[in-house]
Amino acid sequence: MVWTPALTKRFLDRARRHRLYAQYHLIAFRGLRRGESCGLRWADLDLTQGTAAIWWQITQIGTDTFEDKPKTAAGEATISLDSATIKELRAHKARQNTERLAAGDAWTETGYVFTTPTGEPVDPNDVTEQFEQLSMEAGLPPVRLHDLRHGAATFLLAAGYDMKVVQETLRLSSIAIASDIYTSVLPQLARQSAEDAAAIVLNAVPHPPRQPGGNATGRQT
């Protein structure tokens, strides 16, 4: 199940008050996997150029966490960031600096983008639990955190981009995988495109008919 754009916005509006809002924003807008967002470092970001290099992920098994490479070779890539996401990441960096000052000697400098209040990388399971809590508080139908990633792909398709763009943005190993996962949403999008095309005609303002030997207002020329 994937939330509609309106439901996704409702979640983000609720999550905005949380200290890790930028992490959920990044997943929803750019389709990072949970572990990839947890493994992101400030050194991987270029907020001036608007890019994020995805080189690592943090995986959690039980209570143990470890860092490794992304799920597939295709997962290692540099993605573009939209202006709204860049703005949120800048705000998050300022918030993290405030937490660093408040923590004092208790702060551990790890270089991660998303951390605990003392600088340690966040546990992926904690990110999921907080997502579920925020979703419930927003009164939303239950979905997995991973479904925010699927939502990002669906929104790209709805915006008119093809499967190749979805494959590259989500860093899937092949376009066939993108098609296998997201073909189910295409009939709905095709119906919407038909409605949009029909609306161009139905909502058009007709011009006055031309009179024989005159212009559209009936005056002789």
CATH at 87: 1.10.443.10
CA angle 109, 40, 183 (to 5 degrees): 165
pTM score: 0.80
The answer to whether the beta carbons of residues 194 and 200 sit under 8 Å apart is: no
Question: Which residues fall within 8 angstroms of residue 188, CB to CB, at 6 or more apart?
Answer: none
Does 196 reside within a domain?
A: no
DSSP, residue by residue, the chain: ----HHHHHHHHHHHTTSTTHHHHHHHHHH---HHHHHT-BGGGEETTTTEEEE--EEEEETTEEEEE--SSGGG-EEEE--HHHHHHHHHHHHHHHHHHHHHGGG-----BSSB-TTSPBPPHHHHHHHHHHHHHHTTPPP--THHHHHHHHHHHHHTT--HHHHHHHHT-S-HHHHHHHHGGGHHHHHHHHHHHHHHHHHTPPPPPPPPTTB-TTS-B-
Q: Using the predicted structure, report yes or no on whether residue 49 has a pLDDT greater than 70.
A: yes
Q: Using the predicted structure, report yes or no on whether residue 28 has a pLDDT greater than 70.
A: yes
Mean pLDDT, the chain, rounded, equals 86
Q: Using the predicted structure, report yes or no on whether residue 194 has a pLDDT greater than 70.
A: no
Does 17 reside within a domain?
A: no
Does 70 reside within a domain?
A: yes
Which domain covers residue 74, as residue numbers? 27-184
Does 200 reside within a domain?
A: no
In whole angstroms, give the CA distance from residue 197 to residue 72. Answer: 39
Q: How confident is the model at residue 183 (pLDDT cuts 50, 70, 90)?
A: low
Percent over 70 (pLDDT), the chain: 85
pLDDT tens track for 120-129: 999 999 999 9
**Amino acid 167: pLDDT:** 86
Number of structural domains the chain divides into: 1
CA dihedral 22, 168, 150, 23 (to 10 degrees): -10
**Amino acid 213: pLDDT:** 64
C-alpha dist (Å) from residue 95 to 8, 74, 89, 192: 23, 32, 10, 41
Does 95 reside within a domain?
A: yes
